Structure 1
Amino acid sequence: MSSKFQLWSQQLQQKVELAKSLYRDFRIYDFGSLALNRLTPKKGYSIQSNIAYGLKARHRLDLYRTEQPRQKRPLIVFVHGGAWMHGDKKDYGFIGEAFAKEGFDVAVINYQLAPEHIFPASIDDLSLALNYLTQSQHKLQIELEDLVLMGHSAGAFNVMSALYHPQPYQLQIRENIRAIVGLAGPYHFDYKGDPICAEAFDQDVPYQQVMPYYFVESNKVKHYLFTAANDDIVGVNNSEDLDRQLKALGNHSQLIEIPRVGHITMIGSVSSLFSRFFKTKAEIMRVLDEISPKV
């Protein structure tokens, strides 16, 4: 056996072991999210579940309506992560509660998953959901004057790609998007052969034709790029690269590092059960209040 083949075999095995480890982490998170949602307080908001925004089975969203007094009720659209291959809105009730209790309405969306539906299917679905919310705002009794797009991991990529995409989307609500909050987002990486998410992308298409980093344009949207200090899945360079690109074109961008959290625990730390122990929610609330101050 040649030394070159041995090296290749070792690298392949390392990638396989990493993929197994991360898959196990996602399954652990699933278990944790069940506990989070079961223990999440049910007061201060109401839920309208499984609203159809399109014709496919996963074209569904849950709408968390705040019952807190606030002059305005900005809408947060939250998109979950899971390497574009995993995840469900039902696992993120704690996200709806965390911000509904602060006076925001929150739409948590599902989207079609890989490997059956590869890029750009998830971005197509987000665009469809945003246009549905725009067309149905009176029926749903939501306010879209100050819209915030928020996503974790793959979801952060999705919300960023809704604006920065090789073929720009016709978003009816584009001018009302005040901010994008990206939590540990992969905005600039080569997915070819990636052990976690290779099946979510066409391997014959170079990443330079996909990553939102390459399609940034000037606008008035505020960008908040959160990174996890202990992230061993998505490199901090993703956010640093995008931050530089945004600023180079005159856009608003802030890099915000959250200490003592990893890639998956970052999103769990937003839960009302844990938010007082971590800075994640407090920092998100700081930027949300910059966009739409409480009165």
Structure 2
Amino acid sequence: MNKLIYGAAVLLTGALAACSPLSVVNAVSPGGAVQAMPALRYGADPRNMLDVYRPAAGNQDAPVIVFFYGGNWVSGKRQDYAFVGRALAARGFVVVIPDYRLYPQVRYPDFLDDGAAAVAWTVRQIAAHGGNPKNIFLMGHSAGAYNAAMLALDPRWLEHQGMTRSMLRGWIGLAGPYDFLPVQNRTTQPVFNAPETPPDSQPLRHVSALAPPALLIAASKDKLVDPARNTGGLAASLRAAHVPVREVYYDGVSHTTLVASLSSSLKRLAPTLDAVEAFIRSDGGR
């Protein structure tokens, strides 16, 4: 790992821990041959905005990734994750990064309705941006991985938008919390109305043979979200339901720096970018 990558990783850890903008990662992640279409509206609330990233070559019918960022459902903004959009678009994908309402404006499950609305917008509008609406993958990190999991596993949210899970080719979770009752994190407790958190708020409760294929990635020594209980537990449940799933753990990254490894300039932290591309190119491992 060269000095630039190491230094950026150290700064990123501090930035994320302080819940500050991810300017460090964006600064060391060049845009390359990528087009960005910012501030597109998908709903009525001021937070219902999204950015689209696409290869500058303007290829048509590219696979589409809808990426949900983390932040414990209390913080985050799409502009901070431009490095994700740029890196994945440089690999030939069209990437949609939506904002969604956060606590205290909303609690569970309102942010899932926002996520479903962003996916519905993608199905209806992404062809105009070079994406294939029949080749959509959901993806998220941390709280965003939870959002992606619930949209992929629990049919209620897409049904609210007149859509079904069958329109998804797969989903990708990075360090996601999929089985966290009782809620221990004090910041998360009011988001999920603890201690009266409904059991069906947990992605693990919605595993069935109808679930789309999954790629689950975690830091092997994640200190914020237990990788054995969450990533390992969900992977085992998906396999038991005969759903295609790939389960990957990386050393040398943390819960926070795992998402940084998606940056084209920080990909040496872990081969996350390569794993995501391989999963999508293989049509979810089918």
Q: State TM-score, norm by structure 1.
A: 0.84
Q: CA deviation at 1:30?
A: 3.0
Q: Deviations for 1:46-86, whole angstroms, at most 9, x for unmatched residues?
A: 11101000000110000001124767411100000011111
How many pairs were matched up? 270
1:203 to 194, 208, 214: 194
Contact 1:69/1:103 (8 A) holds in 2: no
**Counterpart code for 1:87:** G
Residue 225 of structure 1 pairs with residue 216 of structure 2 = yes
For 1:219 and 1:62, locate their aligned partners in 2 and report how far apart those are by CA, in whole Å.
Answer: 30
Residue 248 of structure 1 pairs with residue 237 of structure 2 = no
Farther off after superposition, 133-142 or 90-99: 133-142
Q: State which structure, 1 or 2, has the greater radius of gyration over its C-alpha atoms.
A: 1
Q: CA deviation at 1:288?
A: 2.1
For 1:158 and 1:184, locate their aligned partners in 2 and report how far apart those are by CA, in whole Å.
Answer: 12
Contact 2:155/2:164 (8 A) holds in 1: no
For 2:221 and 2:18, locate their aligned partners in 1 and report how far apart those are by CA, in whole Å.
Answer: 17
Residue 275 of structure 1: aligned partner: 267
For 1:36 and 1:291, locate their aligned partners in 2 and report how far apart those are by CA, in whole Å.
Answer: 29
**Counterpart code for 1:227:** A
Q: CA deviation at 1:164?
A: 2.5
Structure 2: state its 5+ residue gaps: 1-12
Q: CA deviation at 1:277?
A: 4.1
Q: CA deviation at 1:166?
A: 7.8
RMSD: 2.3
Contact 1:130/1:173 (8 A) holds in 2: no
Contact 1:68/1:102 (8 A) holds in 2: no
Q: CA deviation at 1:270?
A: 1.2
Residue 49 of structure 2: aligned partner: 60
Farther off after superposition, 204-213 or 168-177: 168-177
**Counterpart code for 2:170:** A
Equivalent position SS for 1:30: coil
Q: CA deviation at 1:43?
A: 2.4
Residue 77 of structure 1: aligned partner: 66
Contact 1:67/1:103 (8 A) holds in 2: no
For 2:147 and 2:39, locate their aligned partners in 1 and report how far apart those are by CA, in whole Å.
Answer: 20
For 2:19 and 2:261, locate their aligned partners in 1 and report how far apart those are by CA, in whole Å.
Answer: 12
1:279 to 1:139, Cα distance in 2 relative to 1, 3 A: closer
Alignment of 1:105-184 (within 5 A): 105-165=94-154, 167-170=156-159, 172=163, 174-184=165-175
Q: Deviations for 1:159-192, whole angstroms, at most 9, x for unmatched residues?
A: 1101333845315363231111000000001253
Contact 1:45/1:65 (8 A) holds in 2: yes
Residue 30 of structure 1: aligned partner: 20
**Counterpart code for 1:268:** A
Residue 77 of structure 2: aligned partner: 88
**Counterpart code for 2:232:** E
Equivalent position SS for 1:291: coil
**Counterpart code for 1:134:** V
Q: How many percent of aligned residue pairs carry the same amino acid? A: 27
Q: CA deviation at 1:249?
A: 1.5
Equivalent position SS for 2:152: coil
Q: State TM-score, norm by structure 2.
A: 0.86
Q: CA deviation at 1:25?
A: 6.1
